[in-house]
């Protein structure tokens, strides 16, 4: 048996250990907390719990707890970057730098798709609202999980393909229902119900309205 063959199990174990270590460290948060994040409902709850735990140690002010959390999160991000620097060639070669944020804290505001149609007499009515209204039988298509990823807004607003999706959807509706003079697609912004506040419609964002083209 060659020297390499004899050493290979140890080399393989070392590479696997290094890869697992880099993934565990990479799973740590890559961005520090800030005041904006801690002012969200889930952030305030976490600060209350931590404040109660630290109160016996003399930390009574909520501002002190918030400052401590921000400082420690900045240190954690710095340590993460320092630990990952030596294994960067490995993680880059294996495309292992992805951050899989599968279990984020839920936000207190969500969106649902809404479609309004205008008849020839100028009357507007809702023809589709996610999980509520479906006068045109659009739900089997629009509720499909892969299509939702096309139109559902991200944290920075509508996705790049949102407008093209809205135009496509309008064309499809007019093809089957030429009686509509105009269509309007938008995303209703809703505050999710909680123990301290009921569900509330906050408005309709990213509205795209169009009259029916003559060629349809």
pLDDT tens figures, 183-209: 999 999 998 877 777 888 899 999 999
Tell whether 38 and 72 lie within a shared domain: yes
Determine if residue 85 is left, alpha or beta; phi over 0 gives left, psi from -120 to 50 gives alpha, anything else beta: alpha
> Per residue in 129-177, pLDDT tens?
999 999 999 999 998 888 888 888 877 788 889 999 999 999 999 999 9
Any domain includes 161: yes
Residues 29 and 81 occupy one common structural domain? yes
- CA–CA distance from 18 to each of 78, 111, 117, 152, 167 (Å)? 20, 42, 58, 38, 49
54 lies in which domain range?
3-93
């Amino acid at each position: 048996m060659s020297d390499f063959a004899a050493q290979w199990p140890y080399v393989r174990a070392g590479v696997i250990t290094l890869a697992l270590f880099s993934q565990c460290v990479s799973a740590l948060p890559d961005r520090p907390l800030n005041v904006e994040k801690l002012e969200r409902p889930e952030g305030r709850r976490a600060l209350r719990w931590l404040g109660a735990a630290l109160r016996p140690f003399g930390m009574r002010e909520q501002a002190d707890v918030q400052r401590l959390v921000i400082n420690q999160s900045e240190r954690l991000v710095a340590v993460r970057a320092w630990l990952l620097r030596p294994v960067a060639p490995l993680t880059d070669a294996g495309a292992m730098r992805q951050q899989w944020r599968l279990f984020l804290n839920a936000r207190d505001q969500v969106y649902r798709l809404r479609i309004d149609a205008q008849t020839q007499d100028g009357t507007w009515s809702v023809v589709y609202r996610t999980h509520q209204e479906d006068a045109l039988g659009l739900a089997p298509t629009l509720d499909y999980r892969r299509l939702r990823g096309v139109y559902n807004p991200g944290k920075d607003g509508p996705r790049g393909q949102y407008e093209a999706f809205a135009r496509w959807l309008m064309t499809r509706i007019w093809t089957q229902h030429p009686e509509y003079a105009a269509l309007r697609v938008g995303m209703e912004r809703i505050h999710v119900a909680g123990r301290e506040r009921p569900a509330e419609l906050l408005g309709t964002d990213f509205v795209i309205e169009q009259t029916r083209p003559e060629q349809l």
